[in-house]
Amino acid sequence: MLFLALGSFLAGILAGQFFGGETFVGAMDFLSTWGLNLLVLSVGIDIGLNKGIFKRMRVFGLKILLIPASIIAGSVAGGILGGVLTGLPVRESASIASGLGWYSFSSVYLNDLVGPQVGTMALLSNLCRELLTFLIIPPIAKKMNIYTTIAPAAATSGDSTLLFIEKYSNEEVAVMAVLNGVLLTALVPFLVPLVFNLFSI
């Protein structure tokens, strides 16, 4: 999936270089808007089909909300710090960070909202987050509490990084990772615009 996203990104750069034009850009805007809506719809359907997820959430109770809440707070705080250090407007840096690793949503949304430069940063930033997750989970599992292996994965903890989390933790952490991934994936479409508007005030 990661290589497919990178390949699509590179193909897009080439298409823009050789086939760019006002008509092409207008068509891309139209397709990206509908693609984004279909993406959010498919996530909703996926959550609705996973009937066991709600039972598991009842078992863990409010405790399950602590992990995603901490991940959101840490990610947005990191985005703010990144903006201050790089000179990027805080509303943009915090919005990029609030993508929580879901690059296919945050990059398209911020591209439509702000422009291709911020959309590209969102794509690369969230792709890097996923890549770094694979690198830092082993030392985190070894040196810290095994539940902290969920934190760097953020929204990807329910899918692409799940097997890696399970490998370095245990079955209970894996279940928590799935629940965390579902919750964060459901929240990202609301969180990115919320953070952007919050820091625009």
What's the average model confidence in pLDDT over 54-61?
A: 70
Least Cα distance to 186 among 76, 74, 43, 56 occurs for: 43
What pTM was computed for the model? 0.76
List pLDDT tens digits, range 120-130: 999 899 989 98
Token match 């707070």: residue?
Answer: 73
For the ranges 57-61, 74-78, 129-133, 151-155, the lowest mean pLDDT is seen at 57-61
What's the average model confidence in pLDDT over 81-102?
A: 94
Quick check: 198 pLDDT over 80?
Answer: yes
Average pLDDT of the chain?
83
Angstrom distance (rounded) from CA 190 to CA 188: 5
Angstrom distance (rounded) from CA 135 to CA 127: 13
DSSP string, 88-141: --HHHHHHHHTTTT-HHHHHHHHHHHT-HHHHHHHHHHHHHHHHHHHHHHHHHH
The share of the chain scoring above pLDDT 90, in percent, equals 35
**Contact indicator for 150, 173 with CB cutoff of 8 Å:** yes
Q: How many residues does the chain have?
A: 201
**What pLDDT shows up at residue 162?**
84
